[in-house]
Structures are given as C-alpha cells and as structure tokens.
Chain A
C-alpha cells in the first residue's frame, strides 16, 4: 500500500537540474499550498485572481529566482501588510521551502502528469508464457515426472546429483502435513507401510487431496494471500460479522477443485456474473475485495474511499499479478512499466464499486456494504424493519402531540396542586373538599398527596414551608419544573427528529433519551410514574400495541456477506501526486498498459467483469505463473520466484524459469485445475528427495536454489497447534461456520487456548492478533502475504514450555497413552513416536524415554507422579525439533 503522497523511492536519484525545482515543488511546496492556500486560491474562489492549484497568475506574484522581491514570499513571511495565510503564519520549514522554490526559478509544473510514455519492456515477467519442452537429462532413471527434468537438468549442468530419496514414513509425514496440515494417523501409517505397490504413494496423494482437510490447509494459504481477517483493523477495529463466509468459500473452492480462473473471476466480479448456479457463492467470493483493512472513522470521506480503493488495487495486483501497482498512486512506478494512468484506470473500476453502504454522519463512522444472499428474504426483512420504524415514528409523534396538549393544561397548575397537597398534609384537610374548593381534580390531587408522603430530599423545602410561605415555595417548584420540562421536551423532540432522519438515511438509530434523575429529582419523580405522568390515549395505546407486535415479530437478520456491489460509474481523474484534492486529467477504465495491447473502450458499469476477464485471459503473462509459483512455494517452502508478490524489476528472478513456464502452461491446459497441479508437483522425484545431501552439493548450492535437496521447514502455527489437538484426540473436526458470537459486541473475546477447532477458525482481529498466532509469524493480515517467515525465537520456545495450551495437550496425549490398557510402557513409547513423529522409536530411544519417565516420576513423587512424568515426556516430544521441523 502506498501512503498518500509518499510512494517515493528514497534513494537519491540523479535529477536533472531543471527537474529539481519541480521535484522540490511537488514534494515540499504543493502540500503546503494545498493545505493552507487552496481554500481561497483555487477552484471557484481564486482571491486576488491567484490560483495556486493550477498556477494561473502565479507569475505576477513571484520574481523568479528572487524570493525577497516576490510578493508571495513577503506575504507568507508576514513581511508586509498582506499576511498569508491569515489563519496563522506558516512554519519555518514551509516558508523555507517556498523560498527555495522561488530561488530555484519558481517553475510551475505545466507538463500534464499523464504524458504518454512509450512503454516497452524486456523484463522477463511481462513476456508471454512459453510452451517449454522438458529438457533431456543424463540420469533418466531419476525422472518420475517432467518436473524432474527441469530440476535435474539444472543440477547436472553444475555437475551435481540430487539428494537421495526420503524414507517411506518421512515421505508420508511430509505429504500429509503438506496437504492437510495434520499428522498421518496410525491407520494411514499402517496402510502405507503395507502397500508395496508402485502406486502406493500416488494413492496416498489422491486420498489426501480428496480429504476436506485439504481445503482447510490450502485455503489457508490463499487466505494469507488475500490478507483475510475478521475486522477492519483501523480505529475501533470493527468486526466484519460475515467474514467467515468468505473463509468457508475459499476452503470449499479448494476442496471442490474450482478451476482457478473461475476462482479469480468470482472474487473480482462474482456479484456481476450471470446464471443461477453458485449465485450465493459468487457474492460471497467478492469478500476478497471487501475484507481489507479500512479506516471507517476517517472524516475525509473521499480520502477514505480512495484509501480503500488503493488497498484493493494493492491486494489485487500483488495477489494475482505479483506486481506493486500501488506504487503508481503518486507518480509512474519508479522501477516497473506501470503508469499513474494505469493506476487510476484501475482506481476508476474500484471507485465505481461500492464497499460502503453509507458514509455515516459527520463525526461518526461510515457503514460497510453487506450483500444479502437471498434477495427475497432480505426484502421481507427490510420491509418489516421499515414498517417497525415507521410505526415507532408514528407512535412517538402521536404521543408527543397528546403530551403537548395535556401538558398545556396540567403543567401550569403544578403550584396549585402543591399548595393543595400541602394543605392536605399539614392542615389535615380532606382532598375531596380541597379539590372542590380550589377547582382541582381530586384524583390528581390524591396522587400528589401520595407522592408527597415519600421521604425524598426534593420535598424538604415544601415540607418545611408554612402557611405564609407555601404559595411562594410552590411557585419555585413550578419554576424549576418548567425549566426542566422545557429542556426535556426539546431533548425528546430532537431525538424524534434525529430518529426519523436516521431511519430515512438507513444509519444506526439513536436510543430514546433517558431522563437523568440526578438533574432534577422532583421532575423525575412527578413525571415518570408520578402525578404528571400521562396515560396513553386510545390512539397512542393502539399504536404502542402495534409497534410492540411488529418488534415481537421482527424476523432474524437473513444471511449476509461481506461483499461489494456496483455503484455509480465514476469518471475518474488522475490525482496529481496522489492527492485527491488535486484532480488532474480524466482517465478511462483501463488495465496495465504494458500488458494490454488493446484497452477496453465501451465499459458499462464498474468494469470488474472486464477486469476479471483480463486477469484470466490466456494471454495474461502473470496470473497463471504467479499462482503456480505460490503452489510450488506451498509444497517446497521456497518459491521459484522467491519474491512471490513482487515480480517487477526489483523482485527476484525465477530459479527455474523454464519449469515455471512449463507448470503455468500445464496448469492452464488442465483447465486451471489446482489439484492436477498438485499431482504434477507431488509425484515428482524432486518432492521425494531427502533433506540431507552430499557435502559437495551443499557447498555448490548453499541456499538450495538449484533444489539439490528438499528444504527442511518449520511447521506453521496451524500445523503445530492442530497437531496437538490430534495427538490427544480432542480435535473438533467440524468444517466452517461462524466463530464470533453474533450481536454487536465491540470486542468479543475468543480464547484460542480453549478452542478445539482447527487454527484456521480462530477469529482474527487485525487490532489484536491472538498471541499464539503472532508468536509464530502469522503476519498482520493487513497486506497480501508473500509467504510467512519462519523464525525460531525465544517467545516461541516460551510458548512451547509454558503455555497452558501445550501443557494441557501434553497431559491429554499422556492420558491417551496411559489409558490404553493393551499397551505396555515400552509399546507406549513406540506409539508416542508413531503418533508424534511418524516413525518407530529406536530401542535405545525407548530405553532412554523409560528411564527419563522413571527418574522424573521419582523427582516429582506423589500419587500422580507417573502420570505427570508421562506428561513431561509427551511435552518433550511435542516441543522437539524433530516434531516441529518437517522432514
């Protein structure tokens, strides 16, 4: 993501002399003018005829090269009568910048920023995918699939031999974790060991690919690329309540082997695609665009929208094209053939796409757009909501009308009733006679008298009044009552107006105000439940009942998705230096010039359909390549192009360019089938190599770019955490579904330690990534990930040693071993090794383990010493390098 005026490379690049002034102007002077001067010197205003946005008439205010003689300069230095800006003198730095700019010649950038560049590139990534013939190799016997030819040819060219084959069980462990993220079960181990056929391994691969656990593992890879999370991340970190549907969509897409081109199309434009099948899934798919980080409280709404647009461009371009298109927000890309015009061509598409339902009231947050999954059901729901709210408005208006009328009669008589009540209490006069005598209602007077029996502070003055003073005292009560009543009436009527406004605008509805009893307890006691309380008229009572019935019968909110939809089509302008306050030339909806021989011209709507088609066109040199590279990365830990999200000139070149093109070609020819791609890679001999290799190969290929061996890899946090659930048998294998409690809780608590669902299902708030995930390189779910780093740091060791999670699952694992009566202690050790490490324990390992358990039990003592010693042994196995590093 590019910050607004800042996607500038910071190396000092040699600048042509005449450019220095302009560069300086855009960097240092323009921002000052935009912030402090545009309000009066641009657009329609142009005070003094001076337009500091376009530069019109600037020449009359500056003397090129001579700040001291320039009126502009003397104005900003407050040197003469005219002092600009009037709101306050600019900072020393800003003034110095203006001085420097005038000194450099006061050049105004006249050249339109959209100047056509002739775009040609010979950068490899933009060249078409070649249909490569797999090379010949010397050691034909090593070749299992064509993938091996590419790998072996490279090694042979260096005179190297590939590593030997990994052991059978290690291969099973490798491929099972790779495809499902879980360890192989005892049955799977047994079956594979027994199967001596040539197809044994291929059968395992097929079985794993068919497991729903496959989608959970590989869907997670894509969720990293899609910077998936369950909240907006910025300001109050608002929940995306329906994010989980997108997560499940991704898992299901992998499980169903949805062709990757269709997968891409649905995520970009699923809501616009026609046809009845997968209608809901297609809407959910656009969560890819909708679920990014968003600053909902940003008060500059235009900036907010374009920051979201930028985020979408950044994610789409990195995730699908491996390009950093966002760098072109403020200027043409410094390294890659990507124009600012291209950026705003794409911005035009996303700015014509709605991510917000409503921009909210000033001072509050904007509302996200959510798509209903069943239009009919949603229509009914909305209609019911509108009826309910309208009824409430009607009810409140009617009640207010009644109240106004009644209060007009009742309120002026408060003093009279207070005097009468005083007489009733102090002079013991019967209320009937008093009412008669004073022309008051007896029933009402009785209520006043009742209330006056209350021993409350506000009665004190009244109670202490004498026959002489009671009239004046009552008057005072009347005055304070009236003052509070007026305020309260206004508060209520403001609320009614605001309520109606918010209903009309479809925003959060304000709560009916509650009177704060502390403000005036006399008012509170008399008005709410006291003599001044009004009873509902028949009309109001009727409305109240109708409203209550509507509320009671309000249907639950129908299924919704975090999604996008087409908004009004925007005529986008290029924002000079990325500043939305500084719009320049108009630009049409378009794609990256360098990859698009013919730009589209008659786009209707947002253009996302066209974008989806362009992304998945066979001639697009990047989409297929970028994805097969990610799949390779998933299997081998390192990608062929190791900068998986940056294929530009500052990215890395592929280690095996021909292999990359071969895989991309195969992928598209096999109907973009991801599972077919997995098979192509997994059945190769390269995938079945050992992690250790002859020293000379290691020396010649220290970083393993030639793939002389299989790279050893530390498990991901999901693999580690899920394994523990499997080891003690506590894994809840349910697929998908919501995990956050529903309702509008601000920061619902979900404790990962207590969850037995797979790690994939832990809700992730961008503002507080669960500690266990953050500890193990999960990343921040904020930008498209190019793969997780795999660190080995002390906080991870602390997690292994001390977390409640590991300790409890070690106990569970030990219990599982101990409660199996059919086992002896030494076969328990065997079992533990098989379950945790997918191998049999060596005899001396069994001995060592048993003696460790015995001496630990002795150290611990007590009744549960044996159980605790076994728990400690399990804890050791689960923390071991052999467990955490996959073979």
Chain B
C-alpha cells in the first residue's frame, strides 16, 4: 500500500477556487487525497476496464481497407466530381482512383475487408467497424493532437491521462498509461502528456519509433534498471538511506512530504523488482510468439508491441498504445507501401485479438485500431492518395462494442462521412462511456474554467454499444 502523497497544493487550490463542490468531482477527489493513482469509482458500471489503441500513424486509406466503394471502380480515372475540402497537396490532385485491393466479405457478419488484411479478416466477426470518422486536422500534427487529446491547436491532456485521472490504475507497480514506441514528431510528447492534469497521469513512453526492440527491452521504463549495485546490495543501501530519512522525518514533525518521499523510494524499489517481468516478452511460449508473428522479421516489431500490450493489459495497465509509426502516409507509392505496411501489422493485430479472446481478456479490453485520418478517393500524383479527415474508418473490438458490426457510412466516393458521423469528440465520448465515465462530468479545473477531453462537444455513439 503506497503511502499517502500530498497533491500539489496549487492543483487543490485550482479546484477549490473554481467551486469544487459543484463539479461532481467529490468521488474522484476523495480517492485522490490519498493516492492520485489509487482506484476510483467510475460514474457508472463500465463495459471496458482497459484500452489497447493500435495507432496507424500516417493515415491508412479506408477505401483500400475497410470501406469498399464500387463507385470508385466504375469512375476510376474520372475527374473529381465534388467540391474538395482543404487538402494538403493542392497542386497534385488527379482523377478518382479505384481501390487498389480486392474486397471480400468475411465471417458470419460478412464484413468486407480488403486483401491487405487477410489475417485481420479472419477476426471480422469481432470487429465493430466505424466507417464515419471525422476529424478537423488536415495536417498530421493537428490530426494527431486531436486524435489523442481532443483539440488540434493547443496542448491538452491525452485520453489515456484522462482515463487514469478518472479511474486510477489497477497495478501500482506499473505506469497506468503506456505508449509503446511512439513517434517523436507530429506533437511528440504532446500526444501522451497529462498537460494541466497532475503529472501522475502522464503517459510513460516505452522507447520511441526510432529505436530497435532490443534497445528498448534493455530498459523499457526510464531508470528502471539498476546501473550500480546488484539488487541485494542496493536494498542494503536503500535501508541506510531510509534509516537516515526516518531520523530526519522524526526530527521534522513527520512532515507528510518527507514521509511521501520515503514511500516513493519503497514503491520505486518494488517497481524495479516487479515491473521488468511485465516487459519480458521473451518469456512467452514459442506458439504465442508465433501467433503474433514474432518469428518473422517483417512482423516482429509490431508483433512485439502487440504482445507487450497484452502483457501490460493483463497486468492492469489502463491504457496501452502501440504505434506503427510513421508509416502510412502514402502521398505516392500507395500500392507498394500500403502492401508493406499492412504486412507488418496484419498478423500481429489478428494475433492480439485471438490471444485476448482465448484468455478471456477481450470481454473487458477495448481494442481500437486506426490512423489520424484516412486518404482521398482521388489520386495524388500518379500513385498516391492525400489526407482525408472528412470521412474515414477506424474499428474497435472487444469490451462493450457490437461484434461483427458496421457503423456509419461515407458518401459513395468515400470522402465525406454522411451517416452516423462520428467526430473524434464522439469517439472520445464513446470510449470514456465504455470505461464507465461520463465525458461531460470528467472535468478538471484549469486557468479559470473546467476542461474536458471532449471540450464542449461529443456525444456517445450508443449505436455501437452491445
């Protein structure tokens, strides 16, 4: 049991200053007063306990993967017949381009998946495909920021931080919000920062997209591995330190801050002993590693990420993100590079879904797949597609969402979401809802007002909830 830690006085003041009693935060605050990461009661019974977000950085093309558009086949090469929104490469707009891969219906649900994802296709009956995603950012930086934090111009807490703030964490020996191999570009840390929320809710990055798995595995969490003494001697050293600290504390009225730091060292020592085990992906059976494609050079990296995500989720980490970074931005060479990208993630993703299911974890783990936007139905240059935030596909699987289900639709060209539009605010509202949190009540006072993940927007897509 971690010792009580003082919350920063200023945060407390911000809360009381803004009329804390009115904010429905009392429940949250009651727990926070002792340990900001302690378990907190959700607003209502949750469907999901944890989230795994598989982020396809760069923006995979929906119309080549999960949203077939026959009209594009018939109109292939014809000039763009509708008004185009703000796009990135205005000077390279060409005619409509048909999907470059064949679609087939899969499973009992008959959900169409293109030949890019043969393994994920075998999980079609577990997917809840959201074909009507909408965001506001046309460039990667803005789009990533909004996907992760809800706003696209300013720095705000990441969705993982909000969840941790709202629910606490189930495993005090591990960070509660982990992002594996994130990209340092397009906002970098802003995408997993706690911003104005207390830093306890900060995401912990496991390496970054530029690092190799072997390099990361050496020390997955900063400063987790002792650089000096072997563990038994380090404990002896720690005993000396704590001895001094306790004497100092008793000479200083047992100031809670001093006590808190003594507790922090004990917790750190426990983490150091217990946490590395969670990262030891190699301890998995060969069969499991194979299931995730770790036996193949092509799928090894993302397979490792997915398998690590499962290990962390299993141990109670609230929010885990895997990043396939930054791969999917095919302004050109769509055929070649989407093929390569999909090959790197297809098997690991299917492996993750199957493994979670087999272990009974899928029923309370929400898996989310998607990029920061989709890609245009017209060609950019000869063989590329531009950014399209106006209508694209993400999918979910697991806890609380309808399996084998397609929600929303884009227009016949796959450009605008036209049916059951799901703005990123709505996505956030829905994910929080699945976690048992009311997005309008999960607020934090900062700079004179109350902030939410969904800002002033967002509605829960009840249509997808099982």
Chain A residues near B (Cβ < 8 Å):
1, 3-11, 27, 39, 87-94, 233-237, 293, 295, 297-300, 303, 307, 318, 324, 326-327, 334-336, 362-363, 638, 642-643, 645-646, 648, 650-652, 691-692, 698, 703, 712, 714, 747, 765-769, 771, 774-775, 777, 780, 782-783, 786-787, 789-804, 807, 810, 852, 856, 859-860, 871-873, 875-876, 879-882, 884-885
Can you give 27 A-B contacts (C-beta < 8 A)? A3-B455, A6-B456, A10-B452, A11-B23, A87-B82, A88-B391, A91-B417, A91-B423, A233-B155, A234-B190, A235-B185, A295-B141, A297-B142, A324-B447, A642-B10, A643-B10, A747-B184, A768-B188, A780-B190, A782-B154, A795-B222, A801-B265, A856-B233, A872-B240, A880-B241, A881-B245, A882-B248
Q: CB-CB contacts of B234-268 with A at 8 A, as 1s and 0s?
A: 10111011001100110011010110111011011
CB distance B229 to A298 under 8 Å? Answer: no
How many Å lie between the Cα of A771 and that of B139 in the bound state?
28
Q: Which residues 174-218 of B have a CB within 8 angstroms of A?
A: 184-190, 193, 195, 198-200, 202
CB pair A293 B185 closer than 8 Å: no
Tell me the residues in window 6-33 of chain B with beta carbons closer than 8 Å to chain A beta carbons.
6, 8-11, 13-14, 17-19, 22-23
* Given A235-B142, A881-B249, also A299-B448 (CB < 8 A): no
| Chain B residues within an 8 Å CB radius of A799 | 222-223
Q: Is B91 an interface residue (CB 8 A)?
A: yes
Within the complex, the shortest CB–CB distance from B236 to chain A, in Å, comes to 7
State A408–B19 Cα separation when bound (angstroms). Answer: 82
Are B448 and A233 closer than 8 Å at their CB atoms? no
Beta-carbon contact of B187 and A712 below 8 Å: no
Q: How far is the CA of A698 from the CA of B252 in the complex (A)?
A: 12
Q: In the complex the two chains form, what is the Cα distance from A7 to B199 in whole Å?
A: 23
A651-B188 in contact (CB<8A): no
Q: Smallest CB–CB gap between A79 and chain B, Å?
A: 15
**Residues of A contacting B: mostly:** loop
Residue of B with least CB distance to A3:
B151
Contact B258 A698 (CB under 8 A): no
Query: B186 and A236: CB pair below 8 A?
Result: yes
User: Given the known A-B contacts A324-B447, A648-B448, A782-B155, are A791 and B237 also in contact in the complex, defined by CB atoms under 8 Å?
Assistant: no
B113 beta carbon closer than 8 Å to chain A: no
Closest chain A residue to B204 by CB distance? Answer: A795
Check B45 for interface membership: any CB of A closer than 8 A: no
Q: Flag if A87 contacts B456 (CB, 8 Å).
A: no
| A3–B154 alpha-carbon span in the complex (Å) | 7
Q: Is the CB of A646 within 8 A of B238?
A: no
B residues near A (Cβ < 8 Å) are 5-6, 8-11, 13-14, 17-19, 22-23, 82-83, 86, 88-91, 132, 134, 138-142, 145, 151, 153-156, 184-190, 193, 195, 198-200, 202, 221-229, 233-234, 236-238, 240-241, 244-245, 248-249, 252-253, 255, 257-258, 260-262, 264-265, 267-269, 271-272, 391, 411, 415-421, 423, 426, 440, 443, 447-452, 455-457, 459
Distance A692 CA – B251 CA, assembled complex (angstroms): 9
Task: Enumerate the 4 nearest inter-chain pairs by beta-carbon distance, A residue then B residue, closest first.
Answer: A235-B141, A767-B188, A91-B421, A789-B8
Q: A797 vs B263: C-alpha distance in the bound complex, in angstroms?
A: 9
The answer to whether A876 and B455 have CB atoms under 8 Å apart is no
Q: Which residues of B contact A335 (CB under 8 A)?
A: 448
Count of inter-chain pairs, beta carbons less than 8 A: 297
Measured in the bound complex, the distance between the Cα atoms of B421 and A781 in whole Å is 36
Report whether B236 and A859 are in contact in the complex, using a CB–CB cutoff of 8 Å.
yes
Task: Provide the residues of chain B in CB contact with A234, threshold 8 Å.
Answer: 141-142, 145, 153, 187, 190
Question: Considering residues B23, B187, B234, which has the most beta carbons from chain A within 10 angstroms of its beta carbon?
Answer: B187
B9 touches A703 (CB 8 A): yes
A781 CA / B184 CA spacing, docked (Å): 16
A233 touches which of B156, B190, B202, B225 (Cβ 8 Å)? B190
Given A10-B443, A648-B448, A802-B227, are A299 and B88 also a contact pair (CB < 8 Å)?
yes
Report the bound CA distance from A370 to B281 in whole Å: 49
Say which residue of A89, A692, A775, A875 sits within 8 Å of B419 (CB atoms): A89
Q: A861 to nearest B CB, angstroms?
A: 11
Chain A residues, Cβ within 8 Å of B260: 792
Chain A residues in 8 Å Cβ range of B447: 318, 324, 326-327, 645-646, 783
Q: Which residue from B83, B88, B193, B229 sits with its C-beta under 8 Å from A87?
A: B83
Contact A791 B153 (CB under 8 A): no
> Do residues B17 and A297 form an inter-chain contact, with CB atoms below 8 A?
no
Question: Chain B contacts of A236 at CB under 8 A?
Answer: 141, 185-186
| C-alpha gap A643/B200 in the complex (Å) | 21
> Which residues does chain B contribute within 8 Å of A8, judged by CB atoms?
449, 456
Q: In chain A, what residue has the closest Cβ to B449?
A: A9
Of all chain B residues, the one with the shortest Cβ separation from A297 is B139
With A236-B141, A881-B261: A876-B449 Cβ-Cβ less than 8 Å: no
Contact (A1, B416) CB under 8 Å given A234-B190, A299-B138, A793-B5: no
Kindly list chain A residues whose C-beta atoms are within 8 Å of the C-beta of B18. 650
- Residues in B whose Cβ lies below 8 Å from that of A297: 139-142
